[in-house]
Amino acid sequence: MDTINRVLQHPHVQRAAVAVTALSVAAVVAKSMMARNQATAEQKRLAAQKPGMVYLYQFPRLGNALNLSPYCVIVETFLRDNNIPYEPINGKVGLDASPNGRFPFINVNGEAIADSDTIVKRLSLIFNKPYAPTALLDRAASLMVVRLCSRALSLHYVRHLWVDHPQAIAPLLMSLLPPLGPLKRMIFNVIRQKSVRMLNLSGHGDLSQAEYHAQFSEDVGALSDVLAAVEAAQVTLSSYAKCVLFAFLHKIYMLPLCPAVERARTDPFIARFLRTTERTLFPDLAMLVPSRVTAYNHYSEQYVHRY
C-alpha cells in the first residue's frame, strides 16, 4: 500500500494524471460542441429538404477514391445507374444520426432508411426501378453475386485490411477523424478490435491464413466467371448486383497485394467491367487505375498494432 501511495504521489505520476484528465475533458467538450453544431446544421438542412430528392449520408470522400465503405459505394452507384436525383452529405453528419448507427443511410421524403440492401429495395419501389431481373436464372445469379460480395468477399476484405495490413488503412482512417492528437491512435485500435471481433463472431476467424487466402481467390475467380458470362450475354445481372460488384471489386483492387488481389488486378473481365462502370457512372471523379492502386499504399508503420 505504502509503495502504491509513494508511486501515486510522485510528481511525474501526478503531472501525467493531470495531463490525461485535461486531455479527456477537452476531448469530451470538443466532441459535444461538434455534435451540437452538426445537429443545428442538420436541422436546417432537413427543413430545406426537397421532396423526391435522396440525401445520401456517408463517410467523407477520400481524394479521388470513392468511399472507404463499399456499402456507401453500392448506394451511390445505384443512384447514379438509375438516374435517381441525390445529394451526398459526405461526413457532415455523425453515425449517431443513422437509424442503425452505420453508414450509409438515406433520407427521402422525410423517411430515414439504413442498410444498403434495404435502401436499394426501398429506392426501387419509390422510383419505380426494377429490383431484380424477371428471368429466373438472371434473378438467382444476381442474388448470388450480391450475397457472395456482401457476405463472403466483405469478410476477406475486412480480414485483409484490419488483420493483415492495418498499416495500409491507418492513414486513410486517421484522415477522417477530427484532430484529437494521440487519442486518434486509440480510436483506430478500438475500431480494429471491433472488426476482429466481428470476424471471429462470423466464423471467418476460424479459417487458417492459407484457407482464407484460398477462399478469397476462389471468390474473385467466381466473380470473374460471372463477368465473362455477362460479356457473352449468357446472363443478365440486375443493376443492384452490378453496383455491388463494382463496389467490392473496386475496393479489392486497392488492397495491398495478396494472391486474390493479384488475381483481381490481372483479370481482363474485372478490369474491363471496372473501367466501363467508372467511365460511365463516375466520370467526375477521374478515377484511374493507378490512383486506385495507390490509395491504400501510403503506409505508416507507426500505426501497426499487435494484439
Ligand X SMILES: N[C@@H](CCC(=O)N[C@@H](CS)C(=O)NCC(=O)O)C(=O)O
Site residues, ligand X (CB under 6 A): 69, 71, 95, 102-104, 115-117
User: CB-wise, 202 or 236, nearer to ligand X?
Assistant: 202
Least separation, in Å, of the C-beta of 108 and ligand X?
16
User: CB-wise, 188 or 267, nearer to ligand X?
Assistant: 188
Least separation, in Å, of the C-beta of 162 and ligand X?
11
User: CB-wise, 120 or 227, nearer to ligand X?
Assistant: 120
- Got the DSSP string for the chain? -HHHHHHHHSHHHHHHHHHHHHHHHHHHHHHHHHHHHHHHHHHHHHHTPPTTPEEEEEPPPBTTB--S-HHHHHHHHHHHHTT--EEEEESSS-GGGSTTSSS-EEEETTEEEESHHHHHHHHHHHTT--SS-SSHHHHHHHHHHHHIIIIIIHHHHHIIIIII-HHHHHHHHHHHS-S-TTHHHHHHHHHHHHHHHHHHHHTGGGS-HHHHHHHHHHHHHHHHHHHHHHHTTS----HHHHHHHHHHHHHHHHSPP-HHHHHHHH-HHHHHHHHHHHHHH-GGGT--HHHHHHTT----GGG----
User: CB-wise, 69 or 236, nearer to ligand X?
Assistant: 69
Least separation, in Å, of the C-beta of 117 and ligand X?
6
Least separation, in Å, of the C-beta of 164 and ligand X?
17
Is 255 in contact with 82 (CB distance < 8 Å)? no
Least separation, in Å, of the C-beta of 12 and ligand X?
36
User: CB-wise, 230 or 249, nearer to ligand X?
Assistant: 249
User: CB-wise, 89 or 230, nearer to ligand X?
Assistant: 89
Least separation, in Å, of the C-beta of 295 and ligand X?
16
User: CB-wise, 102 or 122, nearer to ligand X?
Assistant: 102
Least separation, in Å, of the C-beta of 78 and ligand X?
12
- For residue 15, with 0-12 CB atoms within 10 Å meaning exposed, 13-18 middle and 19 or more buried, which class applies? exposed
